[in-house]
Amino acid sequence: MGDFITKDTVVGIDYRLTVADGTEVDTTADRGPMEYLHGHQNIIPGLENELEGHEIGDALDVTVGPEQGYGEHDPDRVVQVNRDQLGFEAEVGSVVSAKLPDGREQHLLIAEIEDDTVTLDGNHPLAGQTLRFEVSIASIREATAEEIGNGSVG
């Protein structure tokens, strides 16, 4: 038990994430392995599916399309508002939070500012992108009952 990645194992992975043009988006090289609880949708489905059944020391090169990553870019999640509606000085690249009618919080990227119009994008920044993960498995252990109950590590 604990030798292979299966549901309810805590997995430590080192990875380098790039997009189609080769641009590095994220890496664990400067911070050490990232731990997650396998089988609980804590990482994107395309990567989690590929890691299933592997063991410590395995290295994988995984390509994940948008449908198994952060989804397609949805134009309905892009809105334009008047700068005066924001109540603060907008800056391209900043992320703002908005309350949805159902009470959930939505994070929106300030994508563009043109005259008095601010474009807000509620898509994940990697939506619509094909992702490439260069992954090595650093650790595997059984999750605690508390971790399983919480659905996450820690």
Rounded to whole angstroms, the Cα distance separating 90 from 69 reads 29
Residue 1: predicted pLDDT: 45
55/92 same-domain check: no
Residue 112: predicted pLDDT: 92
What is the total count of domains within the chain? 2
- Is the distance from CB of 48 to CB of 9 less than 8 angstroms? no
pLDDT digit string, tens, across residues 81-134: 998 888 788 789 888 888 878 888 888 999 999 988 999 999 998 999 999 999
Rounded to whole angstroms, the Cα distance separating 141 from 1 reads 8
Residue type, 41: Q
Q: Is 0.85 surpassed by the pTM of this model?
A: no
154 within a domain of the structure (yes/no):
no
pLDDT digit string, tens, across residues 49-67: 999 999 999 999 999 999 9
For residue 103, what are its two tokens? 């009470």
65/139 same-domain check: yes
154 membership: H or E segment, kind and range: none
59/96 same-domain check: no
pLDDT digit string, tens, across residues 1-37: 448 999 999 999 999 999 999 999 999 999 999 999 9
Ramachandran area for residue 103 (φ above 0: left; ψ -120 to 50: alpha; else beta): left
